[in-house]
Amino acid sequence: MADSGNLGHWEDLAAFHGTGNDSYYDIPALVSGEMSLRTVEADAVAIATRGLGVDGMAIAHVQSHIGIDSIHLARLGARVTAFDFSPTALERLRELAGLCGVEVRTVLADSQEIASPAFAEFHGTFDVVYATIGVVSWIADLGAWMRGAAALLKPGGRLVLLELHPLVCMPETVDPLVMDFPYANTGLRHYEGTGSYANPEADLTWSIDQFGWSIGETVNTAIDAGLSIVRLIEHVESPFDPRGDILVQEEDGMFRLRIGTGADGAPAEPLPVLFTLVAERPAVT
């Protein structure tokens, strides 16, 4: 993840997001306390915390970006440490946390290196490792990522990974249907383009490397890292559009991905757009 192209891209996004030029990061609402975890995120946290909530828990937010969820979790009473490889993102996070009156510790780290001795002081110290939306497609070595998550957890601690479903990552466009991203890992894929998921019209140019990871590969790397699977949920709807260019908001306010038509001209059945994986570091017996 720490190659210069991807880092430069996320440095640019960290400087741009939440500056008033996108609809995804509403900073005034965040500072005023109007924003909170969305239902799909709150449900994932409830599973990870066994319904007890995060108050008093130590949470590692991995690939935190500018830390919107770090702030939400801190407001709920968690002791949050945010890990990210972008210095600009962590600087923005600290600024936002100050505006919101919460404390979030920040750590500059490539998420694939967290299992290394360089981060030993954090190993075995967290009740929850939290990572959401747009995480694994940036990871060349998902096994290393999972070993880092497992290393951070206390025995009995849980990983909550809420992520884009690989199916929703595949289309470049729906009409016409162009599938330009792999469902499973086939090695590095290079892409160039403009804009941001928070504003496709943004004056940003990027050149990035990404990686496909299937549901099976993601689950198996968690198991290989010594984690036990607690829950795997595939969501066919989302309360927000994580890509910014593929999903359609329907009458009930939820975003879905439908391709083609259903029987007798009825709407096509929705495809999965997100998944929640909760996995546990087994307790010492």
Quick one: tokens of 104? 């979030």
Q: What is the pLDDT of residues 140-198, one digit of tens each?
A: 999 999 999 999 999 999 999 999 999 999 999 998 999 999 999 999 999 999 988 88
Which among 69, 24, 85, 78 has a CA at the least distance from the CA of 162?
A: 69
Is 209 in contact with 6 (CB distance < 8 Å)? yes
Report the pLDDT averaged over residues 234-261.
92
CA 201 to chain centre: 22
Compute the average pLDDT of residues 254-272.
93
Domain coordinates in residue numbering, the chain = 4-280
Q: Which CATH architecture has domain 4-280?
A: 3-Layer(aba) Sandwich (3.40)
Comparing C-alpha atoms, which of 280, 262, 29 is closest to residue 149?
A: 280
The answer, yes or no, to whether residue 285 has pLDDT greater than 70, is: no
In Å, what is the CA distance from 222 to each residue of 58, 116, 146, 158? 21, 17, 6, 11
More confident of the two residues 111 and 24: 111
The pLDDT of residue 2 is above 50: no
- For 34, the token pair is 């109007």
**Averaged pLDDT score across all residues of the chain:** 94
Q: Which residues pair with 192 in a beta bridge?
A: 207
| Mean pLDDT of all residues in 238-242 | 90
Q: How far apart are CA 127 and CA 59, in angstroms?
A: 6
- pTM, full prediction: 0.95
